[in-house]
Amino acid sequence: MITNFETITHELTAQELLLITPIANAFKKYTKSNPIKAPDIITKFNSSQMFHVKLTEPRLRKIVNYIRTNSIIPLIATSNGYYVTDDSDEILSQIESLQERARSINQCAEGLKNFIK
């Protein structure tokens, strides 16, 4: 859970955990040449009658985080959308992107510390 974002970043619920496998399997049909964007995933998921959970983009990101953290599939996210790859260079590029974003967030936190007396 992330401070100030508790309502959308809380741990996955029991119902959401049941979605991990079907969502991971659904991602497998998307490649670099045909990625899927989050709004399209949300629309497809929520229009399906298969699940009794409403998916939002923050909860999708939480599921994506779970999938990656637990090494379920090599899921890549770019400005073009999500896709799965077995290409080591693409996976390394995703790792670099995640590490750069983490560094940027840490730099912001360090800058804000200057305002604490």
pLDDT at 52: 81
Section 21-36 average pLDDT: 97
Instruction: State yes or no: pLDDT of 35 exceeds 80.
Output: yes
DSSP letter (8 states) at residue 70: T
pLDDT at 50: 82
pLDDT at 16: 92
CB atoms within 10 A of CB 19: 21
pLDDT at 1: 76
CA 11 to chain CA centroid, nearest Å? 14
Whole-model pTM: value is 0.89
Give the residue extent of every domain in the chain.
Answer: 6-85, 87-117
pLDDT at 6: 66
The CATH number of 6-85 is: 1.10.10
Check: CB of residue 31 under 8 Å from CB of residue 83: yes
Check: CB of residue 55 under 8 Å from CB of residue 42: yes
Phi, psi of 77 (to 5 degrees): -130, 130
